[in-house]
């Protein structure tokens, strides 16, 4: 934990679900993560862990959708109490409004904030172009592929300029080529938009390709086992994934992920 006030601080986070019958399920235990503010630099923090370990629960807590059982989450030194425009979230499931056009979906948050129509159009035009959907602005979600629907979700999130972008396995349902395409789009967005992105995945290759730092989580209840800082790659393209340096980091993360660890009492 840093002594400097971080952009995002997750401190001693614990989350336990309590069912109606009183049954308790501990999903997260004593998770502490600091994400520092780095003006002018985009950064992607990856939470890597096995399916069902609790990593999405951590993300939902940062979004303000779940209240911590123990510990706290602070954004710019202020405790997160509920959802807010300073955090934007992209889910794995497609979340576009079917009755709105692509442009109207992207502009939705701006419209709720009362941004004038002319300004909304100008800004949405820029973001639709950045995700390759400029020609589909007047189409409806039913006319789009899965990858295109996720592009809409990303543009809708980025246009509101949140302090932190939260992404819950957003490419998990996509085919390999579309997934790689979307990973490239996200890397471009993180650099050009100066975004801090917290990205959840159980895919080791995706974690290395996207992440600046990777937090390896245990099985449920999720605990931070390791932090790995990924070396800076001058070029991140499809060829990188077959390089010896990339494969070496993959191997390290796999060993960390599947190495036997002592279970919590």
What's the pLDDT at 106?
94
In 148-257, at which residue ranges do the beta strands (DSSP E only) sit?
A: 164-168, 196-201, 213-217, 224-229
Question: pTM for the full model?
Answer: 0.90
> Cβ distance 53 to 224 under 8 Å?
no
Q: Model confidence over 17-38: pLDDT tens digits?
A: 988 888 899 999 999 999 988 8
Could you tell me the domains of the chain?
1-86+162-265 (3.40.50.300), 96-161 (no CATH)
Integer CA distances (angstroms), 224 to 26, 116, 142, in order: 15, 44, 40
What's the pLDDT at 264?
47
Residue 265 has pLDDT above 80, yes or no: no
Structure tokens at 125: 């035009």
H/E stretch holding 205 reads helix 204-210
Integer CA distances (angstroms), 19 to 22, 26, 220, 247, in order: 5, 11, 17, 42
Q: Model confidence over 85-121: pLDDT tens digits?
A: 899 999 887 778 899 999 999 999 999 999 999 999 9
Q: Model confidence over 163-194: pLDDT tens digits?
A: 999 999 988 878 888 888 888 888 888 888 77
H/E stretch holding 15 reads strand 8-18
In 115-223, at which residue ranges do the beta strands (DSSP E only) sit?
A: 164-168, 196-201, 213-217
Q: Of all residues in the chain, what percent carry a pLDDT higher than 70?
A: 97
| Closest to 27 (Cα-Cα) out of 62, 55, 66 | 55
> Cβ distance 98 to 142 under 8 Å?
yes
Please compute the mean of the pLDDT values over residues 4-29 and round it to a whole number. 92
């Amino acid at each position: 934990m840093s002594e400097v006030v971080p952009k995002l601080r997750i401190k001693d986070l614990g989350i336990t679900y309590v069912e109606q019958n009183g049954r308790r399920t501990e999903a997260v235990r004593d998770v502490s993560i600091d994400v520092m503010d780095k003006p002018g630099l985009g950064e992607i923090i990856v939470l890597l862990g096995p399916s069902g370990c609790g990593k999405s629960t951590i993300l939902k807590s940062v979004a303000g959708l779940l209240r911590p059982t123990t510990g706290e989450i602070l954004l710019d030194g202020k405790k997160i109490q509920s959802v807010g425009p300073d955090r934007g979230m992209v889910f794995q499931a497609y979340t576009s409004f079917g009755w709105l056009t692509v442009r109207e979906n992207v502009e939705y948050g701006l419209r709720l904030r009362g941004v004038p129509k002319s300004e909304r159009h100008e800004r949405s035009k820029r973001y639709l172009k950045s995700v390759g959907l400029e020609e589909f602005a007047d189409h409806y979600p039913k006319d789009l592929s899965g990858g295109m629907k996720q592009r809409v979700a990303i543009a809708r999130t980025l246009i509101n300029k949140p302090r932190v972008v939260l992404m819950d396995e957003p490419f998990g349902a996509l085919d390999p080529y579309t997934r790689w395409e979307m990973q490239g789009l996200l890397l471009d967005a993180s650099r050009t938009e100066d975004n801090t992105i917290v990205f959840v995945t159980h895919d080791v290759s995706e974690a290395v390709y996207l992440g600046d730092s990777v937090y390896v989580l245990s099985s449920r209840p999720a605990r931070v086992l390791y932090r790995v800082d990924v070396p800076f790659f001058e070029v991140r393209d499809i060829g990188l994934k077959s390089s010896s340096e990339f494969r070496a980091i993959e191997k390290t993360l796999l060993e960390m992920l599947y190495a036997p660890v002592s279970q919590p009492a």
